[in-house]
Each structure stands twice: as C-alpha cells, then as structure tokens.
Amino acid sequence: MNIEQLLKKNNIKVTTARVTLLKFLEAASKPVCYEEIKGYISMDKATFYRNMITFEEAGILNAFESNSKMRYFELGQTPHAHFVCTACNSVECIESIEVQLAGYEIGTIVIHGRCRSCVETKV
C-alpha cells in the first residue's frame, strides 16, 4: 500500500509523523494501542490521538476500546470481530465470525471473555 497516496486520496496532509504511524499499523499483525506504539514514534500523546481520529474519520483505520479502556487501532476498512481477554487483556482479530441483524449494518464487534491460553492455565 502506498501510504502517501492513501493520505492524498483522503485529503489528509502528508507528514512524516502520519506516514510513520500508518507504516507501523501496516506492519502490525494485530490491533495496537498507544502504549505499544509510543516507543517507535516521536510524537506526544495528544498529537497521536488527533492523527488517529483523523484517520478513523477518513475510514483509513478501525478503532475500538478494550476492557482496560485502552483504544486499539488497525488499518483497514473491513469491519470484523475482535476478542479481548478479560484475564490477560490480550487482543486478537477474529476473521471467521458472521453476525447478521435484519435491518442493521454491523461495524466492528468486540467480544470479551478469556482467551485460550488463560482458559488452559485456568487464570
């Protein structure tokens, strides 16, 4: 994906910080929060969230809140489910779940429970 073209297409000014953020999200294998990104970027928390809101409003990324009140972000425009473990707070994408409600348009779904690892170790 060409990050600069993506920003221009969405009428978002191309800056080094924005390109860095989107490249980090592109390389991530799962949704990430500010705490996981802050060591790789050089911007304050307010600037980070301002940019993420801009990306979310443009439909460049999906975002959701975990049970620990942290906001997680991922590139993509295809809504899908996420699993948040209530024991260890891990976050996973679930690609194979389908939920249909007549007359509704479903966006991102967040499912809370205990992950396989926590179930196996009885955490």
> 78-93 pLDDT, tens per residue?
777 889 998 988 888 8
The full set of domain ranges for the chain reads 3-120
Q: Which string of b and e fits 28-37 if b means at least 16 CB within 10 Å?
A: eeebbbeebb
Percent of the chain scoring above 70 in pLDDT? 98
Q: Looking at domain 3-120, which of 3.40.50.300, 3.30.1370.110, 1.10.10.10, 2.60.40.10 is its CATH number?
A: 1.10.10.10
For the entire predicted model, the pTM comes to 0.78
pLDDT band at residue 24, thresholds of 50, 70 and 90? very high
Going by C-beta distance under 8 Å and a sequence separation of 6 or more, which residues neighbour residue 17? Answer: 41, 42, 43, 47, 51
Region 37-58: what's the mean pLDDT?
Answer: 92
Averaged confidence pLDDT in the chain:
88
Whether residue 4 has pLDDT greater than 90? yes
Q: Is 15 helix (H, G, I), strand (E, B) or coil?
A: coil
Region 48-57: what's the mean pLDDT?
Answer: 94
Residue-level pLDDT at 77: 63
Region 17-24: what's the mean pLDDT?
Answer: 93
Token pair for 36: 């996981």
List the one residue out of 50, 59, 65, 80 whose CA is nearest residue 11: 59
Q: Would you call 58 exposed, middle or buried from its count of C-beta atoms within 10 A (0-12, 13-18, 19+)?
A: middle
Region 48-72: what's the mean pLDDT?
Answer: 90
